[in-house]
Chains A and B, each alone.
Chain A
């Protein structure tokens, strides 16, 4: 008698826990995977410095794909200037934290503070971009974002007093340590933070409005949704997080050049991950990014005689998935879960 009540209570606690998890966008499986990921660099084959670096790259790419998918997967506008916004955040943060005296400004603020300045700067530009793309749809919005990205990159290239232009600048690092492990936890925390915040937004009424606008802006307007408000909000938030990630990039790598950071091809890399992971899921990109980075870095380090092979694979995978399996990895996951469930029901 007593044991059954405790088991019922346990079940209650468990289901409450699960529902809480699903609110912030995790399934129990996802949480377990995240914990495994967080502990991974403490065990041997993964504790080598270069693999920790791969993990950092993976988390960085995963977080970018979440912020990107927030726009592309929900309101159905491909932000083609995403990398430029990220670069804007990186440069803003780098400039405010700059201590090099020969540049125009050398305030030398703490990088932990300046990454937020970078994020706010990118968010402001995202806000403007949202207003600019208001009247545009589909391809026009993408081209607009693309042009704004080109213009931003051109500006960074030309304002040499601030950014040293194509020579690149070297922002200070977060922590003076040769270890990569602290950086892994920083970027992992950022990734989880961005994911949870965006998932909460998407799970609320705002997310419904996003989906309505993404499917048919006119119908959304007719049913009382103000597209202006939601579009601008979406762009601002996505750009804000892009800027934040840019700040991480600046103070982790300690080197910024416009062409390695803000180029359109960087946006395409994020886009490929987000699409292979599955549009409109947010988590799809995360699950795909880690194996992908490992695979690609493995190719790059073992087949260094073939430059660009990993990027060709990127492109081919993206094209094949777009043509033959447009729902991506998350679509495959839901399909598999439904299949397994139906198997168990039959028995």
Chain B
């Protein structure tokens, strides 16, 4: 370590070239810090906590998106629908469960109700992911690999259409929401009152991201997933079961999106097109940091949440979709492969 740092001392010239090489990152971090300070001044602690809550969620959603693109090369347009499914499952599990638990009067049971609902949503998401992968992507993959990225993208578009309208068909277009998960007083943090639900949602997002990260880094299956994302043929040569890995990846991504949908049920009521806004923001994140970049997606989630918060504070709530979109268009023009870049196979192919 010491020898390395002494071999390349940080001189002014060295420093400047480093900045030049990482210009997009430097510019974005600079603006993020400025925005952070501005938002902090104008909105104070509640706004900053808000950034943390939404940022955690966008990060969790974007991680799934990045994973699916990195491993399977699918630009997933139906990710918001996984979010929607999670919200519905949580709603239908939580309400009866809560009634039963309330009747028992046990505090432990009442507090664990939401967690159980969120876990159920995650499991349902995983199962849905497996079904979708086996019915839609596996046949296409075995058929042809030509123009895969674009075809897969359009397939997910069709899938999103089916899921949204299938939900309308079976459950109707009504909103189903809950006022809150935890019926307790808000906590006071740094002079700001924040609902317990938000804290729980953020912790769940961070824990899920952490588990995912651990799984990808430390377990054998996780390494296999990363191997496939780097080189499919090579992974196959060393005996990795490609079909299994891809189904697992898709299922994980769908499951994490369902978890975020479930844990945000108190903010986003369940209705057929609820997934659209989260989908937009998750896409902003992956486009900002580079398609398929999982580590970047975590940082990017918070940057986008900050941007969203700043737009809300300084320009107005209704501009929330316009300003971030305009900035993402700029990012796409200036740094199409994202600020951190992505070294995923297939990004530049058709």
B287 surroundings in chain A (CB, below 8 A): 143, 147
CA of A158 to CA of B315, assembled, Å: 12
Q: What does the 1/0 interface line of B281-312 toward A look like (CB < 8 Å)?
A: 00100010001000000000000000000000
Q: Chain B at the A interface: mostly helix, strand, loop or mixed?
A: helix
* A215: nearest chain-B partner, CB-CB: B350
B326 near A78 (CB under 8 angstroms)?
no
Q: Does B112 touch A at the CB level, under 8 Å?
A: no
B322 near A155 (CB under 8 angstroms)?
yes
A323 surroundings in chain B (CB, below 8 A): 136, 139-140, 143, 155
Q: Does A138 touch B at the CB level, under 8 Å?
A: yes
B326 surroundings in chain A (CB, below 8 A): 151
Q: Does B11 touch A at the CB level, under 8 Å?
A: no
Chain B: interface size category: 35 or more
A144 near B165 (CB under 8 angstroms)?
no
A148 surroundings in chain B (CB, below 8 A): 329
Q: Does B182 touch A at the CB level, under 8 Å?
A: no
CA of A318 to CA of B291, assembled, Å: 26
Q: What does the 1/0 interface line of A153-173 toward B look like (CB < 8 Å)?
A: 111011000000000000000
B322 near A143 (CB under 8 angstroms)?
no
Q: What does the 1/0 interface line of A129-160 toward B look like (CB < 8 Å)?
A: 00010011111101110011011011101100
CA of A307 to CA of B166, assembled, Å: 9
A322 near B154 (CB under 8 angstroms)?
yes
Whether A319 touches B350, Cβ cut-off 8 Å, given contacts A147-B329, A150-B280, A308-B166, is no
- Which of A154, A319, A322 makes the CB contact (< 8 A) with B162? A319
Q: Smallest Cβ distance from B156 to chain A, in angstroms? A: 9
Whether A158 touches B318, Cβ cut-off 8 Å, given contacts A151-B329, A271-B157, is yes
CA of A154 to CA of B320, assembled, Å: 9
B165 near A78 (CB under 8 angstroms)?
no
* B154: nearest chain-A partner, CB-CB: A322
CA of A294 to CA of B281, assembled, Å: 37
The A-contacting residues of B in range 215-259, CB under 8 angstroms, are none
Q: Does B177 touch A at the CB level, under 8 Å?
A: no
Highest count of chain A CB atoms <10 Å: which of B161, B166, B291, B333: B161
Whether A150 touches B321, Cβ cut-off 8 Å, given contacts A138-B150, A322-B140, A323-B136, is yes
Whether A147 touches B169, Cβ cut-off 8 Å, given contacts A139-B149, A268-B161, A315-B159, is no
CA of A185 to CA of B242, assembled, Å: 55
Q: Does B111 touch A at the CB level, under 8 Å?
A: no
Q: Does B40 touch A at the CB level, under 8 Å?
A: no
CA of A136 to CA of B149, assembled, Å: 14
CA of A316 to CA of B169, assembled, Å: 14
Q: Does B325 touch A at the CB level, under 8 Å?
A: yes
Q: Chain A at the B interface: mostly helix, strand, loop or mixed?
A: helix
A136 near B322 (CB under 8 angstroms)?
no
CA of A148 to CA of B326, assembled, Å: 8
* A153: nearest chain-B partner, CB-CB: B321
Highest count of chain A CB atoms <10 Å: which of B139, B153, B325: B325
Whether A158 touches B154, Cβ cut-off 8 Å, given contacts A147-B325, A147-B328, is no
The B-contacting residues of A in range 300-318, CB under 8 angstroms, are 306-309, 311-312, 314-316, 318
B158 near A319 (CB under 8 angstroms)?
yes
* A146: nearest chain-B partner, CB-CB: B283
- Which of B165, B283, B325, B350 makes the CB contact (< 8 A) with A315? B165
CA of A258 to CA of B318, assembled, Å: 14
Q: Does B199 touch A at the CB level, under 8 Å?
A: no
- Which of A137, A275, A324 makes the CB contact (< 8 A) with B154? A275
B166 near A312 (CB under 8 angstroms)?
yes
Q: Does A236 touch B at the CB level, under 8 Å?
A: no
CA of A307 to CA of B158, assembled, Å: 18
- Which of A138, A158, A316 makes the CB contact (< 8 A) with B349? A138
A315 near B329 (CB under 8 angstroms)?
no
B319 surroundings in chain A (CB, below 8 A): 154, 158
Q: A135-B336, A315-B165, A319-B155 are in contact. List 8 more A-B contacts (CB 8 A).
A: A139-B75, A144-B329, A147-B328, A307-B169, A312-B165, A315-B159, A315-B160, A322-B140
Contact sample, A vs B, 8 pairs, CB 8 Å cutoff: A78-B150, A78-B154, A147-B287, A271-B157, A308-B272, A311-B161, A311-B164, A322-B158
Which 3 pairs between the two chains have the least Cβ-Cβ distance? A315-B161, A154-B322, A315-B162
